[in-house]
Structure 1
Amino acid sequence: MGGRRGSRTQRKHFKQSRENVWKRPKTDSSSDPNNPNSHNQAWQPFATQNPSFDEYYKEQGIVSPEEWDAFMEMLRKPLPAAFRINSTSQFCEDIRSQLENDFMKSLQAEAIEGGDLEPIKPLPWYPDNLAWQSNFSRMQIRKNQTLERFHEFLKLETEIGNISRQEAVSMVPPLFLDVHPHHFVLDMCAAPGSKTFQLLEIIHHSAKGGTLPDAMVLANDLDVQRCNLLIHQTKRMCTANLIVTNHEGQHFPGCRSHKNISNGSEINKLEQSITQLLFDRVLCDVPCSGDGTLRKAPDIWRKWNGGMGNGLHCLQIHIAMRGLSLLKVGGRMVYSTCSMNPVENEAVVTEILRRCGGSVELVDVSSELPQLIRRPGLRKWKIRDKGVWLASYTDVRKFHINGIVPSMFPSGRNYVDPTDNNQKSENGEDVNTEDGVQPDDPISSANNLEEEVSDLPLERCMRIIPHDQNTGAFFIAVLHKVSHLPAIQDKSVSSQGNLSTRNDGLRENLLDQATGEINGLEGSSADGTDEKILEVASEADEKISEVASEADEKISEVALEADLVDGGPDGVTLETISSEAAQAPADKKIDSAKAGEKRKLQIQGKWRGVDPVLFFKDEAIINSIKTFYGIDESFPFSGHLVTRNSETNHVKRIYYVSKSVKDVLELNFRVGQQMKITSVGLKMFERQSSREGSSAPCSFRISSEGLPVILPYVTKQILYASPADFKHLLQYKTIKFADFVDAEFGQKAANLMLGCCVIVLGEGGKSLSDHIQADASTIAIGCWKGRASLSVMVAAIDCQELLERLSARMETEKGTLAQENHGELDEKQDISGENGTSLEEHNVEAQKIQDITE
């Protein structure tokens, strides 16, 4: 969430170290009763009040004076726990049924009997009862058997990936993205990964059963450690449609491939491949001060001050603008924070709309998710810094306050005092009044504190307030890109950063417009005017290269002067500098040998500390896998396998990527690997390193994560098992062939080749000879066929969860069958007087049926 990122970002941008509240001083004075760190002092809970907080938000009018007490009372209460059911899980229906018919009803009954328990309940605004909320203390869990069972259930299903714990309001932004099965989605600040997981659920749930969706999610985060957390979270999803990258959001690479259109065949190539990495949907959940998470992180009460949001305002604008530049025309971006501060919310949205000049509009989503209680965005607010209230930018100059920029105010205007001829703007340039704005008197403005009011439709933004529905606080704005962005110059950064940002923005926006023109030309190629289109498109492409070269030239000079070649920012790559050197005039060219060395370094993808991403093309290994498992030819293998090891003989894992991810990887190679990829693809095959495994015909086994994807295409090394034998495999892990309940199955297993095999749970009346037709509902596990036994290759926790799910299903089926049998017995008992059949005989028959089901 944004709040967690906020503390990290503040440390970086404010250059302040975070106070360690747990560290005791070196001098041990635990016996001193006056020492706050004394052992004799009783534990004190976190303070849940801050006078600065009260003053700030009362003045901003976040809530009405009449509801202020209710607002504050809710902020001081612990936050209820919330979780989502993974809609793509095989056991989604089972889990939802267990929550509705077991836990919820049991807790409701205990609450009616006079207990102090609150029953769990689904969130009314989340579709299909897939999101739930519970509110129990640890003490209640320890004392109540039902709660303890529920707690263990949550832990197990969360670790497996069938359930994701996530704050309720954090689930809202992805729902407003309106993601479709074919969309490319960018999550700009993705860690810890709850929203990314949610986006992956949406694209997989909307895909056809048993097939990979055409959509793709690219999840990015600035912090490497948090990228690892993101990878761990999304790994439970088992998806081939995800790329995880490690970049600053405001400098996320554009990955634009400049291709000259020379003939008709080239048009077809352009239609078949991506030439620029643009996205249909962008989630921009930016770093923020995080005061919307006070109920979850009460230590924020102590640290909070009115200037926390001011230091993040410009960063949030830059990240949002970068997201819009990467968004396709017609696409949708959701901007969100877990902050209540209008400086981080409405002020950022206002500046975005102002800069985009009509190319982006706020979307009215008031009719979507009607049961979600939300409030409209504010149209007026003030700025507070160093204990001073500022109503307009005039007051900033009056009090000589640094760090406050015009975009923080509702109007965004830069007022000027005409009596000060030496007045400078924030970037050090002379101030003028060419925009026609008449300067105000700073003294009168400061005294009157007359508030500015925005003329933009900010009421279309959403504010979620804690006491409306017992949640945290959140801010959401939905933006629609209606046309290409205009060329924008940013004047709110330092001189060096200003040059880089301005030229980067200029390049991105000019290329954005030119790409749109080319797309329009390509779209009209069916009219029989191909030659003319090719000529115009070629000229347009040359113009793009010329503009890009001119803008990049300045950026490369800045990068070289700052000596950022080895470990420079993500926005200035070595490949970019090298290409600019080649395009520069003779008097400005960089040393050719040095440029060539940098280009070679970049093409190899030598991101520091990150393994390379390479397409796996060892035909001998691929053919051995295909032959051993009888992989059907319809399964797309070519170009879909990747590895992170350049030495084929040492490859331990082979990953599988979807068509959409494959296209993006190919584009990334064409542009010199501008993206720093930390994780990609679904682990499909793993090298078997044991002594017995090295003697198997195929040295790679199918991984548990990749099995559901490849299962419908496996025709060899695969068998049906009866429910009894399947259950025994999960229980005992290793079973000798002669010990299986079904002797025929044991014989078939013994006849398999040495190595990995797949065992499918047989259902209904299917016999072992039936042709296996797997789909999304098929339950299967990977096993190792040894010389004398069959061993399960599934983690212990997965075996435990699968056993519990199967046992629950069998109990349900047994109960259903028992009810049917009971009805039949009643019916037969009614007619027994007529035909002379005894009740005892019917009971014997029912017992036989029950024995069979067990």
Structure 2
Amino acid sequence: MGRGRQRGRSQRKHFKESRENVWKRPKSDDTVDASGNAVPEKPTWEPILTDNPNFEEYYKEQGVVKAEEWDLFMEILRKPLPAAFRVNSNQFCDDIISILENDFVKSLQAQAIEDGELEAIKPLPWYPKNLAWHSNFSRKQIRKNQTLERFHEFLKLENEVGNMTRQEAVSMVPPLFLDVHPDHFVLDMCAAPGSKTFQLLEIIHGASEPGTLPNGMVVANDVDFQRSNLLIHQTKRMCTANLIVTNHEGQQFPGCRLNKSRASEKGLSEDMPINQLSFDRVLCDVPCSGDGTLRKAPDIWRKWNSGMGNGLHSLQVILAMRGLSLLKVGGKMIYSTCSMNPIEDEAVVAEILRRCGDSVELVDVSDKLPELIRRPGLKTWKVRDKGGWFTSYKDVPQNRRGGVLVSMFPSGQNIKDSTETTQENENGGVNGCEDGSKETVVDAIPDEPVVEVSDLPLERCMRIVPHDQNTGGFFIAVLHKVSPLPEFQEKPNPRKHPSTKTADSTEKSPAEEAVVTVDVEPAESAVEKVTEANSNNEKDESLEPEKKNTEGESITEEKEANSSNVGGKRKVPMQGKWKGFDPIVFLKDETLINSIKEFYGIKDESFPLYGHLVARNTDTSSVKRIYYVSKSVKEVLQLNFAVGQQLKIASVGLKMFERQSAKEGSSKPCSFRISSEGLPVILPYITKQILYTPMADFKHLLEYKSIKFPDFVNPQLGQKAIDLVLGCCVVILSDGEEPAKVDASTIAISCWRGKNSLGVMVTAADCQELLERLAERTTKTEVGSVNGSNGDQGGPQAMETA
């Protein structure tokens, strides 16, 4: 969606000096000594050190892996992460899988053997339908090895056009445990760079009826404005009208609750399908120290320390509690991190369960995805601080309790010896500790260390360790909300997170606040230390982060033309509620909508446009892009307007129409063309401006990008093109006859019918990819024909066409 040009402080805070996660570090290239004499040329790089004594001491003490596995654990951690990728569910997914299975599995085998591997690439056994693949080559090998050049070019092209997503294997796991249905409202709280969001959208669309939009939707949120650009770019390839992208701090994500009094004042009580924004599923993949990504981001080796996890613990609890408060009763939430640290993992889950009591349960999913090797969560661990190791909160000195919290320990309580005397805390409470929790007095032998063991079913959590399946590290817990949270958890917290005090903040109702009664200052400092590492780790999710979208535009879609020149002076751009974001408005210009419907022959009863088209400019004459939103997104937008636009929306819906500037000027009956993203959704409902093209002419268009009417291979086709109205049209690959039905296998492109020629309106990369897919299918068809003529009844199926 369009964006404003002004940027707030948080939006400007992006990572200009992002480091490259490589396994070689530049060195000085001095070639003379102090006397000016030449010295032998030194290598311009040195290997990154994969060693950190603090890391080894910490994880040996925590017992994350058994002592006999330690050497193998460290050996795997020091090796580069094998590349993994996922084939996106679209009309070409079967073709891509076929190429992987029948071409690259065999052609790359020799290189795999040379590198000491049994297999070059293979599908991940636990991912459905062979859509996810594991390579035994690192990303650097794929980029640099000449033998792998063809494979590398294949991956780059398919990633660029949206047929494939570069994603770490363990990162694909959380959405599979969320049990998403097509009618679910799903919140991805910390969504950038968008790989998991893409999976969630695939699940929602894949389970719905073909040719229909699902009733569910996904809200993808990320606090960082810059990172949300990549999120928008990633999800754009899904071609979905069921997505809203927002920019909020996850712990302050608004609940958008419409009070009855306010609804009656506005006369909205009967018209509002929903009066509160709540979700059936929540994915809470929180910011973390990221030590599970050491193999992908080796820079973490030199930066890692135990304080990173300690500092983030409070923020992680806050985020998870906010996620649960937004979750509907009966819904499920995934809490996950790419850290192996129990302070960020089991300790957070334990604190969640203690706060929520019987209203939330930890789900046992050990019978799901049986081929995924995972380990049960820990029930006992220690806390490391500058002052040393602590097994119980009672051992933490008073001057360290600002950074070491009682919730970090397995019991979550301040266990006291019977010989000690309970004293009043600084708040004047009796039998209380610093953070307000009650002390528990137990009989214990003086000076005997207290080894705490959690009484919660934390073994139901799962930890993925690198040496089990040659992956990164990951932690996942599945939570089920069985009843409303305790009342005290739903009330606003007077001690708000300092960073949430902004000029745009509004008073929220109790249900819109999560209870946060913890010291969050350590989390803030830790976030600053590890945010860069996490950001760069996740930015590497795509093979080559693209600077252009599918139609050659900047990733950050430009601001709508909501200003005009009057007397040579430019008007001040209109802003929405949120500074730097243009307003979202429903398009209500019936004349404009009717012109689009008439031009493309769209019947409103089959594909309603009115009430589903939005723009980011209230001036219809200046609107450049029109977006289509599903019924569920429409309802959320209506609610957001009613509650005073509490949602800070960066992108919404699917870009369906774009204003076309052409030499013909005002002679065009319709000024808006169909965008390439929106074409797959609207295609079944178009009845005009369609040209059915046989294979020869379709390829001809893709190769030359523009064809004059007399130059078509089929002369009759040139005449049909002339008969089209000047403006946008859709060219469908077929045998030249009108198909009975347009379905998911239909191949079509947007074109422009000019005065003398027909030109394609897709990128060069899309044209190249389509040509390769068609060549592959044509080859199969020809082989099938030859086999059929020889009496072979088992030849490959001919290419599907509309």
Question: What is the deviation of 1:45?
Answer: 1.3
Q: Could you list the per-position Cα deviations for residues 443-498 of structure 1 after superposition, in whole angstroms to 9, with x for gaps in the alignment?
A: x77x5333200000000000001000000000000000000000236999995659
Secondary structure class of the residue paired with 2:697: helix
Match of 2:212? 211
Please report how far the alpha carbon of residue 191 of structure 1 lies from its aligned counterpart in structure 2 after TM superposition: 0.5
TM (normalized to structure 2)? 0.81
SS in structure 1 of the partner of residue 260 of structure 2: coil
* 1:687 matches 2:687: no
User: Aligned partners of 1:819, 1:122: CA distance in 2, in Å?
Assistant: 29
State the partner residue of 1:730: 702
2:245 match: 244
> What residue in structure 1 maps to residue 232 of structure 2?
231
Partner of 2:164: 163
The alpha-carbon distance between structure 1 residues 709 and 693, as it changes in their structure 2 partners (threshold 3 A), is: farther
Task: Output aligned runs, 1:263-342, within 5 Å.
Answer: 269=270, 273-342=273-342
Contact 2:245–2:650 (CA<8 Å) still a contact in 1?
A: yes
Instruction: Give the CA deviation at 1:429.
Output: 5.2
The 8 Å contact of residues 424 and 431 in structure 2, kept in 1 or not, is answered as: no
- Asked if 1 retains the 8 angstrom alpha-carbon contact of 2:626 and 2:656, the reply is yes
The letter for the 1-side match of 2:63 is G
Q: CA deviation at 1:101?
A: 1.1
* Aligned residues of 1:346 and 1:458 also touching (Cα < 8 A): yes
Measured at CA, do residues 221 and 744 of structure 1 come closer, stay the same or move farther in structure 2, by a change above 3 Å?
same
Aligned to 2:375: 375
Q: Which of the residues 582, 594, 599 maps onto 1:628? A: 599
Partner of 2:66: 64
1:169 CA displacement: 0.2
Cα shift at 1:656: 0.4
* 1:479 aligned partner: 479
**Equivalent residue in structure 2 for 1:612, among 561, 578, 583:** 583
Distance 2:84 2:681 in 1: 30
Tell whether the 8 Å contact from 2:423 to 2:431 is kept in structure 1 after alignment. no
Q: Alpha-carbon deviation of 1:632?
A: 2.0
Are the aligned partners of 1:409 and 1:452 in contact in 2 as well (CA < 8 Å)? yes
- CA shift, 1:663, in A, is 0.5
Tell me, yes or no, if the aligned pair for 1:179 and 1:202 is still in contact at 8 Å.
yes
Deviations 1:723-757 (A, max 9, x none): 11111011111111111111111111101111011
**Partner in structure 2 of residue 788 of structure 1:** 756
Match of 1:804 in 2: 772
Local SS of the residue matching 1:308: helix
Deviation at 1:511, TM superposition (A): 4.5
SS across alignment from 2:487: coil
Q: CA separation in 2, counterparts of 1:218 and 1:374?
A: 29
Deviations 1:675-729 (CA, angstroms, capped at 9, x unpaired): 0000001110000112225421101111111111111111111121111111101
Amino acid at match of 2:120: P
Q: Partner of 2:86 in structure 1?
A: 84
C-alpha separation in 2, matches of 1:280 and 1:121:
34
* CA shift in 2, pair 1:381/1:114, >3 Å: closer
CA-CA distance at 1:822 after TM superposition: 2.5
Out of 732, 744, 753, the position equivalent to 1:760 is 732
Match of 1:194 in 2: 195
Corresponding residue number in structure 2 for 1:98 = 99
Provide closer, same or farther for how the CA distance between residues 143 and 62 of structure 1 changes in structure 2, counting only shifts above 3 A: closer
Query: Hey, what's the Cα distance between the residues in 1 that align with 2:756 and 2:684?
Result: 28
Structure 2 residues not aligned, in runs of 5+:
1-8, 502-506, 518-573
1:357-386 CA distance string (max 9 Å, x none) = 110000000000000000000000110100
What is the total number of aligned residue pairs between the two structures?
707
Cα offsets for 1:229-273 (capped at 9, x unmatched): 11111111111111000000000000001125999xx99937x60
TM-score of the pair, normalised by structure 1: 0.77
Deviation at 1:43, TM superposition (A): 2.4
Q: After the TM superposition, which residues 733-744 of structure 1 pair with which residues of structure 2 at under 5 Å, given as runs? A: 733-744=705-716
SS at 1:44 equivalent: strand
One-letter identity of the residue aligned with 1:409: F
CA distance in 2 between counterparts of 1:157 and 1:197 reads 16
What amino acid is aligned across from residue 344 of structure 2 in structure 1? E
In structure 2, the residue matched to 1:51 is 53
Aligned amino acid, residue 748 of structure 2: A
How far 1:421 moved relative to its partner?
A: 7.6
- 1:740–1:746 contact (8 Å) kept in structure 2: yes
Do the aligned partners of residues 458 and 679 (structure 1) sit closer, same or farther apart at CA in structure 2, a change above 3 Å counting? same
> Offset at 1:821?
1.3
CA distance in structure 2 between the partners assigned to 1:110 and 1:252 by the alignment = 49
Where does the alignment leave 5 or more consecutive residues of structure 1 unmatched? 1-7, 502-506, 513-547, 556-602, 826-849
Q: Is the 8 A contact 2:693 2:731 kept in 1?
A: yes
d(CA) in 1 for partners of 2:179, 2:77: 31
Aligned-residue offset at 1:135: 2.2
Cα displacement (A) at 1:40? 5.3
Q: Contact 1:641–1:654 at 8 Å: present in 2 too?
A: yes
Q: What is the letter of the counterpart of residue 787 of structure 2? A: Q
Q: For residues 486 and 123 of structure 1, what CA distance do their matches in structure 2 show?
A: 41
The percent identity for this pair of structures is: 66
Residues 595-744 of structure 1 correspond to what in structure 2 (within 5 A)? 605-633=576-604, 634-744=606-716
- Which structure is higher in helix share? 1
Q: Distance in 2 between matches of 1:720 and 1:492?
A: 60
Q: Is the 8 A contact 1:325 1:509 kept in 2?
A: no
Aligned partner of 1:600 in structure 2 is none
Indicate the larger mover: 737-746 or 281-290: 737-746
Q: Which amino acid aligns with 1:642?
A: V
Q: Is 1:313–1:408's contact at 8 Å kept on the other side of the alignment?
A: yes
The within-5 A match list for 1:32-51 is 43-51=45-53
SS of the aligned residue for 1:158 comes to helix
CA 1:604–1:370 in structure 2 vs 1: closer, same or farther (change >3 Å)? same
Structure 2 vs 1, CA of residues 689 and 32 (structure 1 numbering), >3 Å: closer, same or farther? farther
Residues of 1 paired with 2:302 and 2:192: CA distance? 25
Q: 1:817 — aligned with what?
A: 785
Instruction: Please give the alpha-carbon distance, in whole angstroms, between the structure 2 residues aligned to 1:492 and 1:71.
Output: 44
Contact 1:688–1:694 under 8 Å retained in 2? no
Larger Rg: 1
Aligned equivalents of 1:283, 1:638: Cα separation in 2: 32
Provide closer, same or farther for how the CA distance between residues 620 and 56 of structure 1 changes in structure 2, counting only shifts above 3 A: same
